[in-house]
Amino acid sequence: MIHYDLHLHSRASDGALAPAELVSLCAANGVQVMALTDHDTLAGINEARLAAEQIGLNLIVGTELTCLWNRRSIHILGLGLDDAFEGVNDYQAELFCLRQERAERISERLIKKGVDASIFDLAMRYSEGGQIGRPHFAKALVKLRNVKTLQEAFDHYLGQNKVGDVKALWPDLRRSVEFIRQAGGIAVIAHPTKYKMTFTKLRELVADFKKVGGEGIEVGYPGLNPDQGRELIKLATQQDLLMSAGSDFHNSFNAWTLPGRFPALEVNEQHVLNRLLL
Ligand code: AMP
Ligand code: MN
Ligand code: MN
Ligand code: MN
């Protein structure tokens, strides 16, 4: 059996570890094939690739794109990309600007709610030049003692429909999937049960996703209960979608999220690994 993890974050976006540290942690946890999937960037790939070569681990070039579908924010994984594709720099630079502007708006709204004015600088510092996101604001809110834990920061300030949940003009679903395909990758719907959608809505998303060239869906990730897992495998089978799985690892603060740790998924003929390891 092959040990793999096709959804992982580093400091190039909102993960806690440097890409090379993440590769080491994957290896220490028995992962043989890993995809680095930072939000809206491939900036960690070079460092990860070097580390993976040294340690003898198979690195899949990936990303997790934020996009809009019917006014909802959806995450689409791109797996098996060619990071030398010429459109990469423009895409990630555009998303960098979007995220910077959004960070300013998040700060303004938090400050209006009484958060200290240093929040922007603090969050920026935590993002260390990578793609800034709400988790960096969560860290800043803990530091400023507005909340005690990162989870509390999401519960009170940053989670869905809270004051810091600022929407941005993310690329639409079509554009994200097209980017992934142009870069030679496979587009996969990330954590489909985390959008608070009904399965009927999810089937609509799948239909639109397939129309624009999407090929896969995650059916194994932490937080998925066995019933949902079975539903997703059924959906993938019916819709002829490739199946993917991964830990969505960001940091080690929660002992239950570790590289390589997610509900087991049988590697069958519809598994995306078959395409990635060709
Ligand atoms: P952003 O890319 O700025 O929209 O931030 C989204 C990221 O925040 C996700 O990738 C997760 O890492 C994290 N996140 C989103 N919602 C929650 C939540 N309710 N609890 C903890 N982390 C969350
Ligand atoms: Mn994240
Ligand atoms: Mn995600
Ligand atoms: Mn993720």
Query: To test ligand 1's pocket by mutation, which of 73, 102, 149, 158 has the most ligand atoms within 8 angstroms of CB?
Result: 158
Model pLDDT, residue 255: 66
Q: For the chain, how big is the Rg over CA atoms in Å?
A: 18
Environment of ion ligand 2 (residues, CB < 5 A): 14
Count of CA atoms in the C-beta half-sphere (13 A) of 142: 14
What distance in Å separates the CA atoms of residue 94 and residue 92, rounded to the nearest whole number? 5
- Residue among 84, 51, 48, 34 at smallest CA distance from 277: 34
**pLDDT, tens digit, for every residue of 215-272?**
999 999 999 999 999 999 999 999 999 999 999 999 988 767 899 999 988 888 999 9
Element (DSSP H or E) covering residue 217 = strand 216-220
Rounded distance from Cα 119 to ligand 4 centre (Å)? 24
Residue 136 CB–ligand 1 contact under 6 Å: no
- At 143-179, the pLDDT tens digits run 999 999 999 999 999 999 999 999 899 999 999 999 9
Q: How far apart are CA 13 and CA 145, in angstroms?
A: 23
Q: Is the CB of 214 under 6 A from ligand 1?
A: no
Average pLDDT of span 179-202: 97
Say how far apart CA 194 and CA 197 lie, in whole Å: 8
Going by pLDDT thresholds of 50, 70 and 90, the confidence category of residue 101 is: very high
The residues with which 69 forms a beta bridge, in sequence order, are 72
State whether the Cα torsion 219-26-10-171 is positive or negative. negative
The residue contributing the CA closest to ligand 1 atom 15 is: 159
- Cα(258)–Cα(251) distance, integer angstroms: 8
Q: Is the CB of 157 under 6 A from ligand 1?
A: no
Give the pLDDT of residue 1: 84
Q: For residue 278, name the pLDDT band (cuts at 50, 70, 90).
A: confident
Helix residue ranges per DSSP H, the chain: 19-28, 45-55, 87-112, 119-127, 134-143, 150-153, 173-182, 199-211, 226-239, 272-276
In this prediction, residue 257 carries a pLDDT of 83
User: 194 exposed, middle or buried (CB, 10 Å; 0-12, 13-18, 19+)?
Assistant: middle
**Is residue 135 lining ligand 1, measured as CB closer than 6 Å?**
yes
pLDDT in tens, 60-86: 999 999 999 999 999 999 999 999 999
Pocket lining: 154 vs ligand 1, CB cutoff 6 Å: yes
The 10s digit of each residue's pLDDT in 169-190 is 999 999 999 999 999 999 999 9
Which protein residue's CA is at the shortest distance from atom 13 of ligand 1? Answer: 135
Q: Starting from the CA of residue 40, give the closest ligand.
A: 1
Q: Write down the mean pLDDT value for the chain.
A: 96
